[in-house]
Amino acid sequence: MKEVFRSSDAGRVGLYQSILEDAGIGTFVRNSSTQQTLVHSAMAALFPLPDFWPALCVVDDADYPEAMTLLRSVNDPAPAERADWPCAGCGETVPGNFDTCWNCQRARDGKRPS
């Protein structure tokens, strides 16, 4: 079992899961059953850790490379053309398929978020 994707957005996790299942890859989502209760509990407010986010996993580790390739192609149709870029706001290196900084949300061209 290997995690391929994790997000606080359960809809996106579900979308990716259906993409992998359509490709014949066995998957399951970890934490999806506990998230509803955690969101409404004091624990979630005190410890808003990504551990509570639903995580999409492949059942068979052998499917991991194919799963990552599939999800990458969904996220970014032309990965080779997009190099990682340094954020002008915080200096973090941002993956090329992101148009805004994952850390401070500044746009690739250096503009502040509106």
Q: How far is the CB of 88 from Zn ion (least distance, A)?
A: 8
Q: How far is the CB of 102 from Zn ion (least distance, A)?
A: 8
Helix axes 32-39, 10-22, angle to 10 degrees: 170
Q: How far is the CB of 90 from Zn ion (least distance, A)?
A: 3
The first and second tokens of residue 71, run together, are 């999800």
Nearer to Zn ion, 14 or 89 (CB): 89
SS3 helix, strand, coil % of the chain, rounded to 5? 40, 15, 40
Residues that bind Zn ion (CB under 5 A): 87, 89-90, 92, 101, 103-104, 106
